[in-house]
Structure 1
């Protein structure tokens, strides 16, 4: 090399593009493993910031509404933060008392559930059904479900210690939101084209979070009113749990119903449990199958398999709060993939089941109607 010539600049992106297929996959996999391991180790720091981001997205429409009426930015942000803090404080007082009382009564509930389980197994044996009582009493232990519910409530309650940090981060995110587009405009090579994808990405996330928050709130209110009428203890607590777990489609409503139905079984017996279960069925079918699809559409959904895998993955990476954030995080990734033509096929794979088009050729079997996008290589 001529010492008088400057060293050529190394382009990481260019080198990655010229990496052979196997090496590129290996490099991407290694980077993914490193990022996931780092997130898992930093979950205590990462979780509050992720919550702050989603709270800021939910609060953005209210902020834009106030700005549309010429309210100064700083005053609008203060009003939004006061509304968030007041809502959180009210929920903390109502739910906190219920959680404390529920935790105090937990040993009594566990003992009653154990007795009910043993009575049920004895009855089955009496009518001639062969039941291995020792094995089933260990496998079918509803007391463990109540204990797990209490542990989950305690872990979620631990987030209250980070309330100030979360609210402070939300304030700075909302303050930065107005100047962030101008910064992107300065650093991007083709800002007009990039902003089309960026605006679509942000709008889809805001739309998803707004619709999901509204339907979750409606679900929580219906569950609260229904259980209050039926006579199940702590209806506010079960309504709040139904609100949060409604962010997890398909499985969340089932998880939210288990502790409330077990408590109804202890208090009201089988008939009361049936009435309480009917409320959960009606609420989740009305909201999940009628109202939400009408506003959400098919473009902002996930397949049942992806929902389950994201629940396991984000729960392992970020803990119990990661299970609550699993679907919003996965939806964010899906929306980001869908906003780019090169990665839209991945978003389709993550999405819900789609109906086969009549013109789509299929050879039957598992892959009937599927055609992966193929882009001819100019080098061939």
Structure 2
């Protein structure tokens, strides 16, 4: 068999096997993946706190790290409580909104002279609203249920992180090879720090602007929709669209006129377009160098394996794969295919070029 088809077959088999293992092990791997993300955010927040000067002094790591841990988990608890309360209230009122939407469809069907008036069941399955709300409630319940496991993982990661470099160095007989691994790790960390920092900032801005607009117009569940906009902003392309649809549909059945519906739809669409197409690309630049098609395929792949959490994590995971594949001759073509322009940079040299001090 020619070498190229054999290589392609091996890659496809490997991807299938890895995907299958990730799928069947998602109950164990998902909390650990979330814990890694939280651990990274805690360290980033701790570094930011230690960089703040208090006169001639800076906070020591022994104080900044527990403070960052408390802030992250404190904010997470508050957000989960607020979202859970809003979801409970929305589930209680869902039949009313569903009936009003059904009546609205019939009214406009009659106004436009349709022979067969539209009903809600013609557009979506019965109890679709309740099923969507139940899915959201189950997702929140799952996150809250695994919070204790995530917290334990994070604690162990924080306690053992001081030994990570020493362990990694001892995995390799060659110091040059260990040095190369450290450089690859630093390159991944730099890319993720840049992406997550900017993405988190623009997601917070999107959530705040979404909640502010809905509060100004008097639409209920503004905090819930703001959180949804914040979370879905991590999901490429489709996330921003979904975050506009939900509050717009509620405005359609909550208000007696169509004016608030148009204001909310256009306002949220403008927020998403301005931040996603103007502000974020200017801040992000071309640092990730990822193909748009690859991002969509990655979104579908990780979404099929890990659901919404996989969609949120798809870009960081694909960035890691791209950087790692770019370092080895055998996997470098994969990195070229994943990139936007084919330029994945020079592989990190396994030789230490600088002299020891």
Aligned-partner Cα distance in 2 for 1:371–1:74 = 42
From the superposition, tell whether residues 66 and 342 of structure 1 become closer, same or farther in structure 2 (CA, over 3 Å): farther
Alignment partner, residue 278 of structure 1: 266
Q: CA RMSD in A?
A: 3.0
From the superposition, tell whether residues 338 and 113 of structure 1 become closer, same or farther in structure 2 (CA, over 3 Å): farther
2:247 to 234, 254, 260: 260
From the superposition, tell whether residues 253 and 183 of structure 1 become closer, same or farther in structure 2 (CA, over 3 Å): same
1:133-185 deviations in Å (ceiling 9; x for gaps): 56x85452397663454133213212101111112212222333333123222
Alignment partner, residue 306 of structure 1: 294
Alignment partner, residue 250 of structure 1: 237
TM-score, structure 1 normalization: 0.78
Aligned-partner Cα distance in 1 for 2:28–2:6 = 33
Which deviates more from structure 2 when the two are superposed, residues 161-170 or residues 327-336? 327-336
From the superposition, tell whether residues 306 and 21 of structure 1 become closer, same or farther in structure 2 (CA, over 3 Å): closer
Give SS of 2:236's match. Answer: coil
- Per the TM alignment, residue 74 of structure 1 is displaced from its structure 2 partner at its CA by 4.4
Alignment partner, residue 197 of structure 1: 184
Alignment partner, residue 7 of structure 1: none
Give SS of 2:258's match. Answer: helix
Kept after mapping to 1: 8 A contact 2:236/2:299: no
TM-score, structure 2 normalization: 0.83
Which deviates more from structure 2 when the two are superposed, residues 217-226 or residues 178-187? 178-187
Alignment partner, residue 287 of structure 1: 275
1:139-154 alignment runs, 5 A limit = 139-141=122-124, 146-154=129-137
Aligned-partner Cα distance in 1 for 2:59–2:134 = 43
Kept after mapping to 2: 8 A contact 1:113/1:142: no
Instruction: Extract unaligned runs of 5+ from structure 2.
Output: 52-56, 346-357
2:312 to 320, 324, 335: 324
Aligned-partner Cα distance in 1 for 2:198–2:328 = 23
Would you say 1:62 and 2:45 are equivalent positions?
A: yes
Alignment partner, residue 172 of structure 1: 156
Aligned-partner Cα distance in 1 for 2:85–2:323 = 39
Instruction: Extract unaligned runs of 5+ from structure 1.
Output: 1-18, 355-369, 374-380
Larger Cα-atom Rg: 1
Which deviates more from structure 2 when the two are superposed, residues 30-39 or residues 265-274? 30-39
Aligned-partner Cα distance in 2 for 1:204–1:41 = 29
Aligned length: 335
From the superposition, tell whether residues 232 and 145 of structure 1 become closer, same or farther in structure 2 (CA, over 3 Å): farther
Aligned-partner Cα distance in 1 for 2:328–2:48 = 29
